[in-house]
Amino acid sequence: DIQMTQSPSSLSASVGDRVTITCRASQGISNYLAWYQQKPGKVPKLLIYAASTLQSGVPSRFSGSGSGTDFTLTISSLQPEDVATYYCQKYNSAPPFTFGPGTKVDIK
Amino acid sequence: EVQLVESGGGLVKPGGSLRLSCAASGFTFSSYSMNWVRQAPGKGLEWVSSISSSSSYIYYADSVKGRFTISRDNAKNSLYLQMNSLRAEDTAVYYCARDFDTGYWGQGTLVTVSS
């Protein structure tokens, strides 16, 4: 099975900082990669699909890139409302549709 | 408006069974694959099972294979997860979700396995 890893596991940054989260697949998954944001007690919210396509309604400060095995989620200017845990997930390729372990983002 | 509403969660003893349901509305249910995802308290997201639109393809995570059964009734716009031989480690919020690149998830239902 393909394993998904994320780094860092947590980060603390200042408002306005550029934040980058990395997701790595143990084998190539083309661009079948989604990014989710989850706030405590809330349902995960899809931010990015197909590695780089912004979901409707998601602020443009979020962007995704990558293909194959290495992917990144970038928040161009961190806002207080972006405090959350972020997950990557491989999908649409062969199952299992594994999630990464998550990256917790908070404000310094 | 797409809506997914889970039900059937609750407290069950180890070794017991529970059947979760997910009622779908606002889209042509029979045209979409569906999924179950769970999240244990304080833990990350775990994909559990997926079923294709016509039930031709069914997949399970190794952690639930042989104990859980996913099914759907397209006439009733409903998705199900039959959970047998439940263990403490199955305690989680269970979400149903439509195809993963559309972002439609239910609010979740809590399953607690405890004596």
Q: How confident is the model at residue A92 (pLDDT cuts 50, 70, 90)?
A: confident
Q: What is the CA radius of gyration of chain A?
A: 13
Distance from CA of B18 to the nearest CA of A (A): 22
Q: Is the pLDDT confidence value at A93 over 80?
A: no
Cα separation of A103 and B14, whole Å? 32
**B41: helix, coil or strand?**
coil
Site from A46, A47, A103 to mutate, B interface, most B CB atoms within 10 angstroms: A46
pLDDT at B48: 98
3-state secondary structure of A80: helix
Looking at residues B48-53, what average pLDDT do you find? Answer: 96
> For B8-48, what is each residue's pLDDT tens digit?
999 999 999 999 999 999 999 999 999 999 999 999 999 99
Please determine, for residue A74, whether its predicted confidence score (pLDDT) is greater than 90. yes
Residue A87 bridge partners (DSSP): A36
The confidence band for A78, taking pLDDT boundaries of 50, 70 and 90, is very high
Confidence of residue B107 (pLDDT cuts 50, 70, 90): very high
- Is B45 close to A99, i.e. CB distance below 8 A? yes
Residue A15 · residue A79 · CB < 8 Å: yes
| Cα separation, A95 vs A80, whole angstroms | 35
Query: Which residues in chain A are contacts of B48 at CB distance < 8 A?
Result: none
Report residue B25: phi and psi, to 5°.
-155, 160
Residue A80 binned pLDDT confidence (cut-offs 50, 70, 90): very high
| CA A83 – CA A81 distance, rounded (Å) | 5
Cβ-based neighbour number of residue B83 at 10 Å: 24
| Vertex A47 angle, CA A41 and A52, to 5° | 155
Q: Which of A95, A98, A100 is the closest to B50 by Cβ? A: A95
Cβ separation of B103 and A91 shorter than 8 Å?
A: no
CA separation, residue A7 to residues A62, A67, B58, B101 (Å): 17, 17, 31, 22
Residue A94's pLDDT is 84
Residues of B with CB under 8 A from a CB of A: 35, 37, 44-47, 50, 59, 61-62, 95, 100-103, 105-108
Average pLDDT rounded to a whole number, residues A18-47:
97
Q: What is the mean pLDDT of chain B?
A: 97
Q: How high is the pLDDT of residue B70?
A: 98
Residue B10: per-residue pLDDT: 97
CA distance B115 to B45: 25
In chain A, what residues touch B108 (CB-CB under 8 Å)? 43
